[in-house]
Structure 1
């Protein structure tokens, strides 16, 4: 990086290396045993000839040298020379002045990032050393911030904002985004138009990208990338600070606290308490609501992704509310604003499967509630859908309470009484008969129930002849004394079969 910045003062010729070695200190070469991580300044090629044991250090010669003249044992190290002969003292002074300016620059960047400055102020400081135009764009390719000259000259070398989407969407970039955890140059091969890029991640989720024009006047790629690292480190602090404040603020807002208290029953809130708070928001008591509960696969993923997911939900689905209630994320959707998403889904139920895939999590959805006062029941439903759905259908990722209503009723019935004491006597009789005689009458009645007590459908599913099924049904009536004309009794039969199924699971 020092070599790249030094080029701004004096032209350099790169003789070897280019890996961007770390430099801890600078001194004039006066030894044949150089120390690691030092930048040595020397006046002639003869100074390098006496070095027999190469180490990881860099050399800057104060006059022009032919590349072919570099000693074989030093090839691969970072070695450059000033193209016009300059006194060693002058070069040393310039290098020290550059280092001092970098230290001061870094301090100012650090102060700016901690003071919560705006991007424009930070970028103004960055431009003192990083002179190429640049911008920051989000995961949806929207521009977050940019250096002013990104817009100044649409014809040449500045980062043209209208080109960002094309650059990012070019073949091989989007699909390989997670291969780039470190700053990189795109395309990786020499061409007329190249870009310095650095991706920002929150856990495993891509958040935004810093993209800058590559300085074609310098062959020092690694120097540019090292400088880019510093710029991105402080830009990242501003980004996290701003996005983090958004989450912290939203999580403590009056509406969020109201919902949190209400669904957790942590206060004796009544309609009279809720109405004044709701009136201060865009919501209304009589709006229709649905609750979705997301659960991450593990604690580490929750820690890395929960704040990001909340911000994503509230940003992309207008007027929704997302709460962090570890280990869950509770999302409340207001149907008065349905369709107002970045993706223009007509129904919120279509948004949830997309989010489940996007964030590698599972979700339980409540039924639609007719007012704000139904949120407590909606929270219970979504929680039950997630819990019972994972138990019954672990291969699925999204569970709607409407699909698990009977399982919920069964679960509630058996939470106070032993399951075996809840079974219909006829089901108990069939279970005992099957055990003693090796028959499958209970399986038959299960198929009959699933077919809504249609003999033709049930016989086809078993599969047996309809007359055979009819004879089985007569035997079942004889053993169980079940009245298949009594709707209340059929409901108890269905509950009993569900209880048996839950017990097996």
Structure 2
């Protein structure tokens, strides 16, 4: 089973936009011929500088430093980026490549060292990020490292404005409110309401990559990158507040790289670092444990997810108790479920995996949902229990209990089947719980034991005849055929049965009681 959970971020490669920001040269002394439309897309992704000496075989992974006097009249093809000292030859203005042109006198070797320092600075930042990611130090460490890099405060919030991480809170930033139910900080409700009616903010919910949010609402600009899940679901955003130093175009690319790293940490669910779980998990757990009694609170939090109380839900319990599975494999399985089943959330609950699927939001029926789940379960050699369709999220605990019962009964009765439905085991469950206080034989119809004793003493088959008659829903011809007897013989036996058990077989309740008794007696 493949999953994005173990994805490794590629090393960070800077572009010309970052170089021109870091050089700090302004005015007419420097010109940037940027052929791209967005700051984070400025030219190639670069791994280092080289000095151009007229050599052939240029590679677009490097930026070439050249004196204008040594440039050929025509630019090389392939989109090779250059930093040029002096005046750019006219033909070079027609190329699609991006260039930095310096008119300030500077020794090319000195410039080379300055450019190399820029690469080294960004490489060190990336190495620290990679170390934190590879050692599962969590999103907090990724953000703490990056505050120093961006020289501005930053934070990450989820799709419902809960603060995932805010390493430093400085003067001028929004003051968070504490969500007493989840214990998480969140954006104040009045500000959330302002966002919901602000046209600029609503447009930001559609963007990919790094963008700038104006100072109109908060009084300062915010560089933001939306975090999109594997199903294209909006999961939150990174925000960098322009409070200490001006935000620069080159930082757009760096912000996107940080989000790539954060997404990997989110997929790993930050288990090694410790305490991050999504608010929807808190809500589901509280409902399963019946710790929450306020329907309005449940409705409000479901609304944050775009869910409704009366949507159609399916609750699934996936057992991992019989498997030796580490945390990363468990997380991988949960992520794979969410990536392949629309409208689903999966996470570890107690010692197993709980999956809640909003069939309404996902636009799928239960059959398609289980078909998609089949590969995941079979590939992982898991077992699953499935409850009935739930149409009231507030009652989800009962439907999870159904999934538990289905798994318990299913595994005990047929361990080779991967998926067990509560509807298949509801009858034995009812009967088992109806016999908790006394043995099954004491709650069964006593007339059946009388027939058994009579058959044993007289070598007759009255008990077998009654069982067949009820099984065939009192169809005389079918019953006689099953027993290989004549119809007149069947009617004679039925008369004897009626005399002995003194029960009205025309009464539906009597027949139900007799059928349940026969079931308990394994007939």
Which bin holds the TM-score, normalised by the shorter protein? 0.3 to 0.5
Kindly indicate whether structure 1 or structure 2 has the higher relative contact order, using CA contacts under 8 Å at least 6 residues apart.
2
Q: Under a length normalisation based on structure 2, what TM-score does the superposition of the two structures give?
A: 0.46
Q: Under a length normalisation based on structure 1, what TM-score does the superposition of the two structures give?
A: 0.47
